[in-house]
Amino acid sequence: MYIIFLLLIPFLSILNILFLKRNSSNIFNISLSWSLILLLYYIVFFVLNYRIFNFQFSIDFNWLLINSIFVNWNNFILSVDGISIFFIGLSILLIPICILISLRSIKYFKKEFNILLFISVILLIGVFSILDVLWFYILFESILIPVFIMIGIWGYREEKIKAAFYFFFYTLIGSLLMLISIFKLYSLIGTTNYENLLIIKIPYDIQFWLFIGFFIGLAVKIPMVPFHIWLPQAHVEAPIAGSILLAGILLKLGGYGLIRFCYPIFPSASQFYYPLIIIISIIAIVYGALTTCRQIDIKRLIAYSSVSHMGLVTVGIFSHSIEGLTGSILMMIAHGLSSSGLFIITSIIYFRFHSRIIKYFRGLTITMPILSIITFILILANISFPLTLNFIAELFLIISAFKFSLFIILLILLGVFINLIYSLWVYNRIFFGSNSIHLKFSRDIVNFEFQSLLPLIIFIIILGIYPNILINPITFSSYINISI
């Protein structure tokens, strides 16, 4: 019943919000209460079941579903293991943060906004626990809908409609190849059940083509170069909750799909293509870092830095080593925490000064000392400073890269060094120096803004000091045992 309640709590919250009056002042308070109940339930669930290694708590919904001509819908089975449990936790943690930081920025359609957040968490719990390839694709694409609506309705600027369609169609069309591969897989094997596919050997010549379809569909979501074009535009136009969902969770769907499906189902194709993927990932690391340096918008800068960080993730995944796979999962979780915090800080600055152009900012430490301290902690996490989870993740990934060559290591370190340079430069440019003539005096962060940032900082530091909370379940999970 654990997974049932994980889905039931957000469903009940949606029903509760639906019966509230449209102009009710308690919409955000009630939504926040429900999201905290969900988070508390997850924490209890995790503490009681810390040693989740193989797939457990499976729920079969075949009594709700009907077979179709094309697919056996009886494969709708939910289960969690030592990998999916953490991505579900990250999704649940970010929902109350999205609600809290949106208290002032969302001024209309408040009911619909909160309902979309809970629909998103239901879909995310499903996509991270489903044990069927076709249902993974359906849920994987369904998450586009609430984010598309968020960008199109609650976006900041006039180009929000363009950015919403750009995000939706770019990622949807990229995933069509994945859908074609799933249909071909079903025609060959007769099932799309994940556990059945793990024990069936697919012919070598077909593996190579099916792998390409899966990889492109997932690479668009990460996004990998050259499929990253949609990301900066979507981030710039999205409301703060949309940016948190994009950076904190949606980018991780691609990495999770590569870990869960590409190597265990297509091992020969994965071994064949990994040199090319490693090269593309290295290009993404260096290109993303260099492109970040030339950005003048704070939000766009953080968005481009995500391209570089996710390049490290794909290097770790296709190193096919225990260090690389563990490091890639840790990096996705760490990036989800730190980048979400940086986007929140960007929204706080924009709410006060109505600008994100870097050249207009200087000397914010004078008027906003608490924000400057919090930003510095998140910048340290972004550059993988010791005692942060990002440092542990990056250490694992660099160790895994040693199996290739010294040249690859040097390129990765070059991207890491550029990340260090632009992160510290931006922080120094915005917060230090004399007060800018373009800025009027502004008060420091208020309670709800501080409360939305505090959980992210706590998790980044605690998991950086004691990363075995994550590492032990990950390394003993069913997937790692199969892959290694």
Q: What percent of the chain has pLDDT over 70?
A: 91
Phi/psi at 64 (5° precision): -95, -15
Q: Read off the pLDDT of residues 393-416 as tens digits, 9 standing for 90 and up.
A: 999 998 888 877 788 888 888 988
- Residue 146 or residue 438, greater confidence: 146
Distance between CA 61 and CA 74 in Å, rounded? 7
- Where helices occur in 49-79 by DSSP H, the ranges are none
Q: Read off the pLDDT of residues 78-89 as tens digits, 9 standing for 90 and up.
A: 878 888 889 999
Q: pLDDT value at position 61?
A: 60
Least confident of 63-72, 249-258, 324-333, 344-353: 63-72
Question: Is the pLDDT assigned to residue 23 strictly greater than 80?
Answer: no
Q: pLDDT value at position 117?
A: 93
Most distant CA pair in the chain: distance in Å? 69
Distance between CA 367 and CA 441 in Å, rounded? 7
Question: Is the pLDDT assigned to residue 479 strictly greater than 70?
Answer: no
Domain range for 17 is 1-483
**Mean pLDDT over all residues of the chain?**
85
> Which letter does DSSP use for residue 80 in this model?
E
Q: Long-range CB contacts (< 8 A, 24+ apart) of 161-165?
A: 162/233, 162/237, 163/233, 163/234, 163/236, 163/237, 163/238, 164/234, 164/237
- Residue 270 or residue 157, greater confidence: 270
Distance between CA 325 and CA 18 in Å, rounded? 42
Question: Is the pLDDT assigned to residue 48 strictly greater than 80?
Answer: no
In DSSP terms, which residues pair with 297 in a beta bridge?
357
Exposure letters 324-357 (e unless 16+ CB within 10 A, then b): bbbbbbbbbbbbbbbbbbbbbbbbbbbebbeebe
Residue 69's pLDDT band, with cuts at 50, 70 and 90, is very low
Q: In the chain, how many domains are there?
A: 1
Nearest partner of 278 among 253, 311, 252, 304, judged by Cα: 311
Nearest partner of 416 among 292, 248, 333, 296, judged by Cα: 292
Residue 37's pLDDT band, with cuts at 50, 70 and 90, is very high
Q: Dihedral, CA atoms, 456, 458, 460, 463, nearest 10 degrees? A: -140
Q: pLDDT value at position 482?
A: 46
Residue 191's pLDDT band, with cuts at 50, 70 and 90, is confident
Q: Read off the pLDDT of residues 273-319 as tens digits, 9 standing for 90 and up.
A: 888 999 999 998 998 888 888 888 888 898 888 888 888 999 988 88
Q: pLDDT value at position 175?
A: 84
Helix, strand and coil content of the chain, in percent to the nearest 5, comes to: 75, 5, 25
Q: Read off the pLDDT of residues 233-249 as tens digits, 9 standing for 90 and up.
A: 888 888 888 889 888 88
- Residue 226 or residue 436, greater confidence: 226
- Arithmetic mean of pLDDT, 466-483: 72
Distance between CA 90 and CA 302 in Å, rounded? 19
Q: What is the number of residues in the chain?
A: 484
Phi/psi at 440 (5° precision): -90, 165
Residue 110's pLDDT band, with cuts at 50, 70 and 90, is confident
Question: What is the secondary structure of 422-436 as a DSSP string?
Answer: HHHHHHHHHHSSSPP
Residue 93's pLDDT band, with cuts at 50, 70 and 90, is very high
Question: Is the pLDDT assigned to residue 371 strictly greater than 70?
Answer: yes
Exposure letters 379-388 (e unless 16+ CB within 10 A, then b): bbbbbbeeeb
Distance between CA 245 and CA 120 in Å, rounded? 9
Distance between CA 306 and CA 223 in Å, rounded? 9
Q: Read off the pLDDT of residues 169-190 as tens digits, 9 standing for 90 and up.
A: 888 888 888 999 999 888 888 8
Strands (E), 209-297: none
- Arithmetic mean of pLDDT, 246-261: 88
Contact yes or no for 171/230 (Cβ under 8 A): yes
Residue 13's pLDDT band, with cuts at 50, 70 and 90, is very high
Q: pLDDT value at position 34?
A: 93
Instruction: Count Cα neighbours of 481 within 13 Å in the Cβ-side half-sphere.
Output: 10
Q: What percent of the chain has pLDDT over 90?
A: 25
